[in-house]
């Protein structure tokens, strides 16, 4: 599913986008019923903690969304894409229960993900509507880093980066598998940037410049 432009950080009290290589963070990914955080819903959260550069615990849960008028939790397209079925979601936790558990796992740590503004937009919306509090965590997006390091690529999907670094994503479009793939690619990208640039800070400054260009109307290709 192609991820729509995000509105992460637009709700009061939410975090901000960082350009950094943190040592401690949580990699996260969502599966959703669609692309609009105000209309669509989260059906799966996957997360992996990295503590001082080392992988730690994982978090994974399905979430039962509201049933639309069609009587189905997810469309046939989403089931085909993710493998997540109505039967799986019928037994899944309710949104408030799942989000509370995820919030405890995430804590105050920085979130990292691939086009993670999309995911943060959904989480910020759901924290506000389900838990009645903002999600204040800052986040780091791996996508503009990949776009900066590989400017000549036609596409910058996660699977493009994974193929370049020879990382196998065994269950693409399942949240935890995407998270594990993202974490490995993020680590390899950092090592790659350190070899190609005079310093990591020089690379990060290049990423900031690219992102500022996007904000000024020079649209970055997500795909």
Is 2 part of any domain?
A: no
Residue 217, pLDDT above cutoff 60: no
CATH number of the domain where residue 44 is located: 3.30.420.10
- Segments in 95-196 forming alpha helices (H): 95-106, 116-126, 143-149, 158-164, 175-196
Which one is catalytic: 72, 155, 156, 173?
A: 173
More confident residue, 98 or 11: 98
Mean pLDDT of 134-153: 98
Mean residue pLDDT across the chain: 93
Direct distance between the N- and C-terminal alpha carbons of the chain, in angstroms, rounded to an integer: 11
Dihedral sign (CA 147, 148, 150, 151):
positive
In the chain, the number of structural domains is: 1
Is 170 part of any domain?
A: yes
Q: Return the exposure string of 155-190: e unless at least 16 CB atoms fall within 10 Å of the residue's CB, then b.
A: ebbbebbbebbebebeebbbbbbbbbbbbbbbbbbb
pLDDT digits (tens, 9 = 90+) for 29-70: 999 999 999 999 999 999 999 999 999 999 999 999 988 768
**Residue 7 confidence (pLDDT):** 62
Q: For residue 58, give the DSSP letter.
A: E
Residue 112, pLDDT above cutoff 70: yes
- Active site annotation includes 156: no
Is 112 part of any domain?
A: yes
Is 63 part of any domain?
A: yes
pLDDT digits (tens, 9 = 90+) for 76-110: 999 999 999 999 999 999 999 999 999 999 999 99
Is 1 part of any domain?
A: no
pLDDT digits (tens, 9 = 90+) for 184-216: 999 999 999 999 999 999 999 999 999 998 765
Is 200 part of any domain?
A: yes
> In angstroms, what is the C-alpha Rg of the chain?
17
Residue 219, pLDDT above cutoff 50: no
Residue 5, pLDDT above cutoff 80: no
Residue 148, pLDDT above cutoff 50: yes
Residue range of the domain that includes 65: 17-220
Mean pLDDT of 169-173: 95
Is 3 part of any domain?
A: no
Is 78 part of any domain?
A: yes
């Amino acid at each position: 599913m192609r991820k729509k432009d995000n509105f992460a950080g637009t709700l009061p009290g939410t975090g901000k986008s960082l350009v950094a290589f943190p040592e401690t963070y949580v990699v996260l990914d969502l599966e959703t019923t669609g692309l609009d955080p105000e209309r669509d819903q989260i059906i799966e959260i996957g997360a992996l903690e990295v503590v001082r550069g080392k992988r730690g615990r994982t978090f994974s849960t399905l979430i039962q969304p509201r049933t639309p008028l069609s009587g189905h939790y997810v469309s046939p397209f989403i089931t085909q894409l993710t493998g997540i079925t109505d039967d799986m979601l019928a037994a899944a936790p309710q949104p408030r229960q799942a989000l509370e558990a995820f919030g405890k796992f995430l804590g105050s740590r920085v979130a990292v993900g691939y086009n993670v503004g999309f995911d943060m937009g959904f989480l910020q919306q759901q924290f506000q509507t389900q838990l009645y509090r903002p999600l204040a965590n800052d986040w780091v997006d791996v996508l503009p880093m990949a776009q900066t390091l590989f400017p000549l690529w036609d596409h910058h999907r996660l699977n493009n980066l994974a193929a370049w670094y020879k990382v196998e994503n065994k269950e693409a479009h399942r949240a935890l598998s995407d998270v594990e793939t993202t974490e490995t690619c993020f680590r390899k990208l950092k090592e790659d940037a350190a070899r190609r640039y005079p310093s990591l800070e020089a690379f990060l400054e290049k990423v900031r410049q690219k992102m500022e260009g996007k904000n000024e109307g020079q649209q970055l290709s997500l795909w």
